[in-house]
Amino acid sequence: MKANKNYMRDKSKESNFTELVRDNHDIIRRIAGYYSDDSHEQEDLYQEIISQLWQSFDNFKENAAFSTWLYRVATNTAISHLRKSKTQPKWNFWQGNKDEPASSMEKDPLVEAEEKQILRNQIKQLDQMDQTLILLYLEEVEYQTIAEITGLSKSNVGVRLHRIREQLKNMIQKNLGRHGS
């Protein structure tokens, strides 16, 4: 990503905003995809995120990382959207190759799909803050940035993510044991 100052020099507010959104389009799409599996709802959420980004663009501090601000606005918008629609996030991790976690060994696609579905189901059972933390973690956002987005301390983010990963691991093991795997 380009440095924030490169965007802000000699450009209008609209062109700065347009360029920043264009450069971060994939992040916004993934966040919308995490919170819904319906393509129409994803598009609505994407548009709502863009709208919220524009409405709060004047609050963006040039000396801050745009991605941190974007994640904060996008995540808060998605959570508000869920509250309004009274739905739970679908957590569509790994849609397409770009979101696939790196793997040194090839897995059977059916086994891999089943494992992903189990993980998604377990993540849905977490409270909203834990879901947000694990989403940001899976997006490979740094702990300090997650802290800035969520308002938690960096150490608290680390502790909570450790506990969430352990909780998910235990939930998945329990689930697999129940199904005889």
* pLDDT tens digit sequence for 38-91: 888 889 999 999 999 999 998 887 777 888 889 889 988 888 887 776 555 555
Alpha carbons 126 and 74: distance in angstroms, whole number: 20
CATH 1.10.10.10 residue ranges of the chain are 92-181
What pTM does this model have? 0.60
* pLDDT mean across residues, the chain: 78
- As a whole-number percent, the residues of the chain with pLDDT over 90 amount to 24
Domain formed by 92-181, architecture? Orthogonal Bundle (1.10)
Q: Concatenated DSSP letters for 23-54?
A: HTHHHHHHHHHHH-S-HHHHHHHHHHHHHHHH
Quick check: 15 pLDDT over 80? yes
The predicted structure's pLDDT at residue 178: 65
Matching CATH number, 1-90, of 2.40.240.20, 1.10.1740.10, 1.10.357.20, 3.10.129.10: 1.10.1740.10
Q: What 3-state class would DSSP assign to 108?
A: coil
* C-beta of residue 59 within 8 angstroms of C-beta of residue 112: no
